[in-house]
Amino acid sequence: MDRPIRVLVAKPGLDGHDRGAKVIARALRDAGMEVIYTGLRQTPEQIVSAAIQEDVNVVAMSILSGAHNTLLPKVVELLNAEGADDVLVVGGGVIPDDDIPFLKEKGIAEVFTPGTPTQVTIDYIRDNVANK
Amino acid sequence: MFDKGKMTQIKEGVKAFEEKTQKSLEKRPERQEKFYTGSGDEVNRLYTPVDLEDFDYNEELGLPGQYPYTRGAQPTMYRGRLWTMRMYAGFATAEESNKRYKYLIEQGSMGLSVAFDLPTQIGYDSDHSLSEGEVGKVGVAIDSLADMELLFDGIPLDKVSTSMTINAPASVLLAMYIAVGEKQGVSPDKLRGTIQNDILKEYIARGTYIFPTEPSMRLITNIFEYCSKEVPKWNTISISGYHIREAGSTAAQEVGFTLADGIAYVDAAIKAGLDVDSFAPRLSFFFNAHNDLLEEVAKFRAARRLWAKIMKERFGAKQANSMRLKFHTQTGGSTLTAQQPENNIVRVAIQTLAAVLGGTQSLHTNSKDEALALPTEDSVRVALRTQQIVAYESGVTNTVDPLAGSYYIEAKTKEIEDRAMEYIKKIDEIGGAPRAIDMGYIQQEIMDAAYQYQKEVESNDRIVVGMNKFQIEEEAPKGLLRVDPSVGKLQKDKLAKLRNERDNGAVKEKLEALKKACEGNDNLMPFILDAVRVYGTLGEICGVMREVFGEYQQSVNL
């Protein structure tokens, strides 16, 4: 790839726990990616519009409010509607294992649960952006 | 502590000991080259009277229940009365949460602690578009007085003390609580409890802000003033370091940033014309308990001493109660692991000891499954039992401040106090906590510490048992609590019915009166209470305030 991977780190939903989002954002940046962080309380519409405007390869969403089943699929849906189906969408946060198959079915490529080393996320993004 | 001759002897002894030890290290090195606290501060091999050479017992410690309160807020501490075992709970609907509260009271919980869902915390009704998917998830959904009546159904408000984790709309929820009391025949002067009401740490770390700083500070001082007259037993604010620590701060930052926020509230109230001793006794604090037992104990003691000095010397408080820091503790959510969740029970037990040895007034213990979901009833019971075991079996409650006089504890207490004071000075130079937050200074400091921690974990310089060492193959845990997704619909239906049945003319009139008051300078509490009584919704009341005050814009920095 000629240009660095561009990632939008986003906080959908109303929860204010942004430690994970910020740590991931820094780790991705330190790994050589270009990172844009949205800040809190982003609607799916706002996230998609930022993703398109910033022309990112990846949307990485962190959510700890329990609203993941509602909000994450909506982002994928809107991205597809905008023709941005080449964007890799990943999620993380307090997400029960039982919900992961549903999220994957809805187009969230991978879900990183508590305790995942940032390196795992970095490697995943590197490997899978290339494939898209 | 020691006379000069003795001290010289001790110094010589320590010097000889260190030299001898240094030599033996060549053959048998210690496990690590250096040792660090949970917050990353270096720890010496040994602490002796040499570390406390200038220590003045009367000045630094004094006696429990006396200035500077290092040894405890009350003279007899847990010999007189145990801390309040207060389990934070709430989910789904008011009816569902009401059942959990009654269960907790039955199991020996001594005070209620209400968790609200995110739409409630941000001042949106359950039928607002931003509430989609969030209703009843992290706490109970409260849209109007009608929900609040159900929440406390069968719980006499003159018999319990209730803590409410509510910040931006704290005035509205407090008004609803007062109104429920009125309906039960309990007058406001009999109500006991706490509202968190700490907006600055929302800007810093927790994120459920609504209004910009200035109107938010006005709402807070309005509450101080109103309660000092009408609800005198109410703790009007819980100045919180908990979330600052959860966001990744060190122990010293937790104390420094929290007390800096406290200073900002006292400043604002004095500026609004209040006498410091009229509101300061009702200020309370909320801290975190992490795994480094001794560092945490020192932290609580340091916070008490430093706040006492600030209130006396900086603000000229005269009443003893104004200088006495009382605090609630919650064990550290961020220390829990999703891996081998049973291990979390042990972490919580250590953290419970830290809080109790540090002299907490009340405590919430987290449940083992909270890195995965909201806790089940069974895991909450174990968390509560953990407190009861410490209270009734461990023996640490038998004497006041049992770790006082430990060379390490006293040296560490002083070190944390000094570091916290350095942060406060720095924030003073910037122009106070609100300005330091606007500039992103406090957030940046916390984030640096959080990222440092993460790097240490990933390089295995810091061991988290079960996560980066001693891992096992595990199956996904079963039986996690799931909030019924129909709660959103249920709550919407209730709202539609309410809007249909209430006196909408009266609601309109009260909301208009509130709007006028917001534009002027009157205390807003009576206007909010009027709107609540006629079943104006939380979203409508906060909507009026949003219209006049605008919304806070977060400074986003990495």
In this structure, are strands B283-289 and B327-331 parallel, antiparallel, or unpaired? Answer: parallel
Q: What percent of chain B stands above pLDDT 70?
A: 100
C-alpha distance from A65 to closest chain B C-alpha (Å)? 6
**pLDDT attached to residue A43:** 95
CATH of the structural domain B67-458, one choice from 3.20.20.240, 3.40.630.10, 3.30.420.40, 3.30.465.10: 3.20.20.240
Which of A40, A71, A118 is opposite residue B458, by nearest beta carbon? A118
- Quickly state the pLDDT bin for B433 (edges 50, 70, 90): very high
In this structure, are strands B234-235 and B84-89 parallel, antiparallel, or unpaired? Answer: unpaired
- How far apart are the C-alpha atoms of B212 and A11, rounded to whole Å? 21
**pLDDT attached to residue B462:** 96
- CA nearest A9 in B: which residue? B558
- How far apart are the C-alpha atoms of B426 and B441, rounded to whole Å? 10
- Give the ipTM of the model, two decimals please: 0.93
Of chain A residues 66-95, which have a CB less than 8 A from chain B? Answer: 66-67, 69-71, 94
Which of B248, B373, B558 is opposite residue A37, by nearest beta carbon? B558
**Does a structural domain hold residue A117?**
yes
The least confident of A44-48, B55-59, B109-113, B246-250 is B109-113
**Does a structural domain hold residue A65?**
yes
pLDDT beyond 60 at A119: yes
CATH number for the domain including A104?
A: 3.40.50.280
**Does a structural domain hold residue A1?**
no
Question: What's the number of CA atoms in the CB half-sphere (13 Å) around residue B468?
Answer: 16
- How far apart are the C-alpha atoms of B123 and A41, rounded to whole Å? 13
One-letter amino acid identity for A5? I
- CA nearest A70 in B: which residue? B133
**Does a structural domain hold residue A19?**
yes
**pLDDT attached to residue A130:** 67
- Report pLDDT digits (tens) over B31-49: 999 999 999 999 999 999 9
- How far apart are the C-alpha atoms of A4 and A35, rounded to whole Å? 10
**pLDDT attached to residue B485:** 82
**pLDDT attached to residue B2:** 73
- Quickly state the pLDDT bin for B91 (edges 50, 70, 90): confident
User: How many Cβ atoms from other residues are within 10 Å of residue B316's Cβ?
Assistant: 11
- List chain B domain ranges: 4-52, 67-458
The residue segments making up the domain with residue A110 are: 6-131
* Sign of the CA dihedral running B456, B411, B256, B328: positive
- If you average pLDDT over every residue of chain B, what do you get? 96
C-alpha distance from A130 to closest chain B C-alpha (Å)? 25
- Residue B485 or B352, more confident: B352
- Report pLDDT digits (tens) over B74-88: 999 999 999 999 988
C-alpha distance from B316 to closest chain A C-alpha (Å)? 36
Mean pLDDT, residues B465-494 taken together: 91
* Three-state DSSP string of chain A: CCCCCEEEEECECCCCCCHHHHHHHHHHHHCCCEEEECCCCECHHHHHHHHHHCCCCEEEEEECCCCHHHHHHHHHHHHHHCCCCCCEEEEEECCCHHHHHHHHHCCCCEEECCCCCHHHHHHHHHHHHHHC
**Does a structural domain hold residue A74?**
yes
pLDDT beyond 80 at B123: yes
- CA nearest A71 in B: which residue? B133
pLDDT beyond 60 at A1: no
> Quick one: which of B95, B96, B145, B93 has its CA closest to B489?
B93
Mutate to test the interface with A, among B124, B130, B138, B376 (most CBs of A within 10 A): B138
Total number of domains in chain A = 1
Tell me the chain B residues in contact with residue A114 when contact means C-beta distances shorter than 8 Å. Answer: 337-338, 371-372
**pLDDT attached to residue B109:** 80
**pLDDT attached to residue B480:** 86
**pLDDT attached to residue B107:** 87
**Does a structural domain hold residue A56?**
yes
Which of B137, B339, B374 is opposite residue A115, by nearest beta carbon? B339
The least confident of B105-119, B222-236, B271-285 is B105-119
Tell me the chain B residues in contact with residue A12 when contact means C-beta distances shorter than 8 Å. Answer: none
pTM, to two decimals: 0.96
**pLDDT attached to residue B1:** 63
Tell me the chain B residues in contact with residue A118 when contact means C-beta distances shorter than 8 Å. Answer: 454, 458
**pLDDT attached to residue B373:** 87
- Report pLDDT digits (tens) over A64-91: 999 999 999 999 999 999 999 999 999 9
The answer to whether B86 touches B328, Cβ cutoff 8 Å, is yes
Tell me the chain A residues in contact with residue B458 when contact means C-beta distances shorter than 8 Å. Answer: 117-119
Which of B133, B451, B554 is opposite residue A71, by nearest beta carbon? B133
C-alpha distance from B327 to closest chain A C-alpha (Å)? 23
**pLDDT attached to residue A132:** 57
Please give the distance of CA B110 from its chain centroid, rounded to a whole number: 18
The least confident of B5-14, B215-224, B424-433, B475-484 is B475-484
**pLDDT attached to residue B372:** 87
Residue contact B371–A37, C-beta within 8 A = no
Mutate to test the interface with B, among A7, A8, A22, A28 (most CBs of B within 10 A): A22
Mean pLDDT, residues B45-58 taken together: 95
**pLDDT attached to residue B477:** 82
pLDDT beyond 90 at A2: no
Question: What's the number of CA atoms in the CB half-sphere (13 Å) around residue B262?
Answer: 37
- Report pLDDT digits (tens) over A29-65: 999 999 999 999 999 999 999 999 999 999 999 999 9
Q: How many contacts (CB atoms, under 8 Å) link A and B?
A: 104
- Quickly state the pLDDT bin for B3 (edges 50, 70, 90): confident
Q: How far apart are the first and last CA of chain A?
A: 12
Contacts with A39 (C-beta within 8 Å, 6 or more apart), sequence order:
A11, A18, B554, B556
Tell me the chain B residues in contact with residue A40 when contact means C-beta distances shorter than 8 Å. Answer: 207, 554
**pLDDT attached to residue B543:** 98
A29 contacts chain B (CB < 8 A): yes
Which of A17, A23, A43 is opposite residue B451, by nearest beta carbon? A23
- Report pLDDT digits (tens) over B160-212: 999 999 999 999 999 999 999 999 999 999 999 999 999 999 999 999 999 99
Residue contact B137–A39, C-beta within 8 A = no
Mutate to test the interface with B, among A17, A61, A106, A123 (most CBs of B within 10 A): A17
- Quickly state the pLDDT bin for B4 (edges 50, 70, 90): confident
- How far apart are the C-alpha atoms of B411 and B558, rounded to whole Å? 34
